Amino acid sequence: ILIVGNYCHDTIITRSSRTDTLGGSAGYLVNVLDALGVESEVISKVGPDFAYRSRVSHPPVVVERSATTHFVADYTGAEDEDRVLRAVKVCDPIVSSDFGRARRSRYGIGLAAGVAGEILPEALERIIKLCDRVIVDLQALIRLIDPVTRVVKYRKLEDTEFYGMLDRVSFVKAAQSEAKYIDLENARQKTCVIVTNGDKGSTVYIKSKEYHVPAFPASELDPTGAGDSFLGGFTAGLYRGLSVEKAVVVGNYFGALAVSHVGIP
């Protein structure tokens, strides 16, 4: 499995604590795949300030002139409000030449798992060419960072260069809060769309069919990385030959484990 996306520094603020931890979709994905004994490779960039080299089993490329992407996730707002996510630092994007570091000429599954716009159209093109099946986390394609406030915002997928690539992608995973930025009825004709919705479970949309997979019960301490851990479990399930529905069950299981911990379990 080829994972493409930058490792991050995460600062997680709740009403009771402030925690600095390893972050980034790649960190959560590798954590799940390593636990299940599924072989993976990571293409990721960090700055020389990266604080978690000893914690990652797949070393990133260190960009000397840059800094590691750093997110601050603030959960101290009202209970009915979403977290406020700020990207206070952003590392360099991943470009075509970075794939020269890939150890293989083909991969069974490729994961476009960017968090701060580091997946460029040229990078997704390379993932598609290298991998038999491609799974995209919607956030990798639609996130924008306000240049003044540094708050993470979103754009509609249809307004990006990525939209024309959907029919060459096997799966798109979107959190419920992100799903409004994709034309679901059109997208499901091109690819399989999976929408995750926390303790309400996940829904799979493909062509004219859709079905719901219930969540596992969990005591939530920190929702950060739940979607990434879902994606790791789902990908591992597909890799092991499970049906899409059963792979979603595995994804839901690892998503529930993730919210029971602060940071990466």
Contact 151, 191 (CB under 8 A): no
Q: List all residues 6 or more positions away from 73 whose beta carbon is below 8 Å from its beta carbon.
A: 10, 11, 12, 13, 83, 84, 85, 224
Place of tokens 């249809």: 158
Per the annotation, the verdict on 146 as an active-site residue is no
Contact 99, 41 (CB under 8 A): no
Active-site residue among 10, 98, 222, 228?
Answer: 228
Contact 34, 55 (CB under 8 A): no
SS3 at position 28 = helix
Angle between helices 244-259 and 226-239 (to 10 degrees): 150
Place of tokens 């994961």: 111
How many other β-carbons are positioned within 10 Å of the β-carbon of residue 208? 7
SS3 at position 259 = helix
Q: How far apart are CA 140 and CA 136, in angstroms?
A: 7
Contact 83, 177 (CB under 8 A): no
Q: Which residues are catalytic?
A: 228
